[in-house]
Amino acid sequence: MSFERDLLAILPRLRRFAASLSHDRADGDDLCQAALEKGLRARDQWQPGTRLDSWMYRIMRNLWIDEGRARQRAARTFAPEEAGADVGYAGDKAVEQAMTLSDVDRAMQALPPEQREAIALVLVEGLSYKEAAAILNIPMGTLTSRLVRGRGALIELLGEAA
Amino acid sequence: MTDIDEAMLIAWVDGELDEVTRRRVDRAVADDPALAARLEQHRRLRARLAGHFAPIAQEDVPASMQAMLASPTVVPIARPSRRWSWVTGGAIAASLLLGLGIGHMSGGQDGPIAVRNGAMLARGSLATALDSQLASAGEGGSIHIGLSFRRKGGGWCRSFDGAAMAGVACRTDAGWQLLQAVSGKGQASEYRQAASADPRLLATIDGLIDGAPVDAQGERAAQAAGWR
């Protein structure tokens, strides 16, 4: 009975996670909305007594990965034909991105997806290694090595020199 | 010289070290300025990232997302006493069905909308539902109230969803003015998608709303104050 109410309670955190994965706030809200729809449709698969937030984080993360793959496929499909037009477009996009995104957003964008999701769950969402590894379905050692590499890159990108 | 590696430093920052290992790192850091500087970098990075995204979780969630979760099955708030609920509930349901299901848009006495001074006003059973029905009561009539919220510039608005029509109405001195109405999704069944999830209505709500929709308590208080 309280499924929607529980979802509503964790929605601000889900929205934050979506924003930390996505290119910008609008993309983040699109992702969050899609995850909510999926969660509501799949509610029978959630086991009461288990963590709803972990379940929703996992749904959102899987959607985000699928979407990234689809985008890569599309890029490969269209690239040869429109290579010429693409160059100018990509340039505009890069300029726009540089102007509207903050340093932190840009640095997160630069990380490979598997590092970005690990960083987002642990540093932004504040989950334990155990919880994050379970959501990503990877061993703890894999998680920690992604955290080490991702953080090294972020320190570099953000110029967090001591 | 030390055997403290990067993974241990970040685990220190993430609070993932056991007590013994944490002390070992503390001692090594105290003896090694370079290691201390690296630990400080990691501590600052975590604080910066967390601080950058933290405000998002403090914001009001967009109305479109709240509306997705505002199902009438949600809230097990106190209902009217059993003795009366079947009478009033049944009577309201029947009158709403008459009003919205088979009433005429403008001609008939029972139509849900009147046009006065160029504005569409809710009347009859729709006006009654907007005045008195609580979304939080989860009443199973043919009208569901969706969200109740304050609009920018002041005043109350409510979204509703019925078999024939769904829309958004705002309270004015003349009554409930319909700002938008779209076709309903036909007879209510348990599994239908509410028409109030219609993107056009959600866009209207997003444009109107000041802050977040009120919760059950706020809804009752506003109703008690006559939506003034």
Nearest-by-Cβ selection for B10 from A12, A20, A147: A147
Q: Which of A12-21, B39-48, B59-68, B214-223 has the lowest mean pLDDT?
A: B214-223
pLDDT category of residue B117 using cuts at 50, 70 and 90 = confident
* pLDDT tens digit sequence for B132-154: 888 776 665 677 888 888 888 88
pLDDT value for B73: 43
Instruction: Count contacts between A and B (CB, < 8 Å).
Output: 102
**CATH for A102-162 (2.60.200.30, 1.10.760.10, 1.10.10.10, 3.30.70.380):** 1.10.10.10
Residues B68 and A37 sit within 8 Å (Cβ to Cβ): yes
Distance from CA of A5 to the nearest CA of B (A): 6
Nearest-angstrom CA–CA distance, A28 and A34: 10
Contacts of A32 in chain B (CB under 8 A): 65
Residue B194: C-alpha distances to residues A106, B64, B72, B163, B164 (Å): 39, 13, 10, 9, 12
- The angle at the Cα of B90, spanning B183 to B221, to the nearest 5 degrees, equals 75
What is residue B120's three-state secondary structure? Answer: strand
**Most confident by average pLDDT, A136-140, B166-170, B221-225:** A136-140
Nearest-angstrom CA–CA distance, B7 and A146: 10
Nearest CA-CA partner of A18 in A68, A61, A52: A61
> What crossing angle do the helices spanning A52-78 and A25-41 adopt, rounded to 10°?
120
Instruction: Return the H-helix or E-strand segment holding B179.
Output: strand B175-183
Nearest-angstrom CA–CA distance, A54 and A57: 5
Backbone angles phi, psi at B135, to 5 degrees: -60, -35
Query: What is the 8-class DSSP label of residue B115?
Result: E
Is pLDDT above 50 for B24?
A: yes
Which residues belong to CATH 1.10.1740.10 in chain A? 1-82
Contact B49 A12 (CB under 8 A): no
Tell me the fold of A1-82. Answer: Rna Polymerase Sigma Factor; Chain: A (1.10.1740)
pLDDT category of residue B98 using cuts at 50, 70 and 90 = very low
pLDDT category of residue A137 using cuts at 50, 70 and 90 = very high
Nearest-angstrom CA–CA distance, A100 and A105: 10
Which residues belong to CATH 1.10.10.10 in chain A? 102-162
